[in-house]
Amino acid sequence: MELETILKTAFILAVVVLTFAPIITWVERKQSAVMQDRIGANRADLGGITLLGLLHPLADVVKLIFKEDVVPRGANRFMHLLAPVIAAVPAIIAYAVIPFGGSYAYGDRIVNLVVADVDWGVLYIFAIGSIAAYGTVISGWASNNNWSLLGSLRASAQVISYEVTMGLSLVGIFMVFQSLSMFEMGLAQDTTIRLFGFLEHFGWVDDIGFLGFLQIPNWGIFLQPLGFLMFFTCAIAENKRAPFDCPEGESEIIAGYHLEYSGMRFGLFYMSEFIEIVVIAGLITALFLGGWSIPYLPQATLIGGIAPVFGDYFATSICMILHVVSFFAKVIVVIYLQMAMRWSLPRFRYDQIMDLCWKILLPLSVANVIVTGGLMLVFGVGV
C-alpha cells in the first residue's frame, strides 16, 4: 500500500508540477500572442531547434537558478525567505485528495486512483488554501516595502472575502451528492439521469413523449449550474489571476507582494500561481465535470464490453487508462478557459472586486443553498 501511494504521488507530481505547470507558462505566452496577432516566445533553442518556443520554460528555470537572490535592507530575513515556501507547498499538496481515476478491481486487490481517499477531501482543500494566503501576506510585510505591503493587504482582503463565497458555492454540491469526499462524488457522477425525470412528481412525463426518457450525465454542472459559475469565479479570484489581479497591479503598485523577490524565490511564487491553475481545473473537473467519467459510458459497461474478448485484467487496465485520459482532457479544457479569460478581460478595480463578492456572489450563494434545499424537500431527494 505504501508503494502504491508513492507511485500515485510521483505520478501527480510528474504531471502537475513537472509537466502542466511549465507548459502553462508557454501557453500563457503563446495564447496571448495569438490573440494579439503576434508570434510569441520562439527564441530559446537547443542546437537550432526551438520546438515552437517550448524550450522557454526550461530557459526560465535555468535563469532563475543562477539569478542573484536579493533580500532587501531592513527586511525580516527569515520571514522573507519562508513566505514563498508557504505559498508554494499548499498548491503542490492540494492534489492529494483530488481523484484522477476511479476504483478498479484486480482480483482481491482494489486500486483507487487518488493519493488520499478521505471523507473530508473538500475541507482539506479549503484548509490548505487558507494556509497559502499566509505566504502572500507575510511576503509583503517582511519585504519592508510600501508597495509590497499594499499588495499583501489587497491580497489578504480579497482571499479572505472570496473564501466565504467559495465555500458557500459548494454547499449545494454537498447537499446533492450527500458527501464531502471528492472520490465518492466522482463515483456518483459516473451515471446518467433523466433530464425531465422531475416531472414524474407532477404526472407530466407522458405528455412530453420520448423526451421524458432523455438522459444526461449526472454531473455537478447540470445539477448545480449556478454553483459552478460562482465557484469558478471565486477560484480565479483566490488565485489572484486576471481579472482579479489587483494584488499584483503593475500599473498601480509595481508588482505587489512579490516586488522584492528575485531568483528561485520569485520562481516559487511564479510556479505556485500556475500550479494553482491546474488545481482549480482539477477541482472543477472532479466536482462539476464528472471527474474521470466518460459521458454515457459507465465503468461497468466499458469493462463489460472489453472483458469477454481480452479478459478482466486487460479490460480493467484499459478502462483505467481511458479514465485518466478523460480526467486530464477535462482539466486541459478548464485550463484553456482560464487562459482565455486572462487575455480577454481587463483588470477590475478593487472596489468592483469587493462589490462582486459581498453584494452579488455571496447573496447568490446563500440563495442557491436555500433553493437547492427546497427542491430536495419537494422532490424527496436525500431525505
Domain ranges of the chain: 2-379
C-alpha pair distances (Å), 11 with each of 20, 26, 314, 364: 12, 22, 21, 38
What is residue 345's three-state secondary structure?
Answer: coil
Model confidence at 376, pLDDT cuts 50, 70, 90, reads confident
Q: Once rounded to an integer, what is the mean pLDDT over residues 188-198?
A: 82
Residue 198 is predicted with a pLDDT of 66
Residue 210 is predicted with a pLDDT of 60
Q: What is the rounded distance in angstroms from the CA atom of residue 232 to the CA atom of residue 51?
A: 33
Model confidence at 53, pLDDT cuts 50, 70, 90, reads confident
Written as one letter, the residue type at 142 is A
pLDDT of residue 379 exceeding 80: no
Q: What is the rounded distance in angstroms from the CA atom of residue 303 to the CA atom of residue 317?
A: 9
pLDDT of residue 207 exceeding 70: no
CA neighbor of 126 nearest in space, from 164, 88, 178: 164
Residue 369 is predicted with a pLDDT of 95
pLDDT of residue 383 exceeding 60: no
Establish whether the linkage from the previous residue to 346 is cis, with ω within 30° of 0.
Answer: no
Supply angle C-alpha 54, 273, 362, rounded to 5.
Answer: 135
Q: Once rounded to an integer, what is the mean pLDDT over residues 212-228?
A: 89
Confirm if 180 and 174 have CB atoms less than 8 A apart: yes
Residue 200 is predicted with a pLDDT of 66
Q: What is the rounded distance in angstroms from the CA atom of residue 175 to the CA atom of residue 166?
A: 15
> For residue range 11-46, what is the model confidence (pLDDT) as tens digits?
999 998 888 888 898 888 888 888 888 888 888 888
Residue 265 is predicted with a pLDDT of 86
42-46, 130-134, 199-203: range with lowest mean pLDDT: 199-203
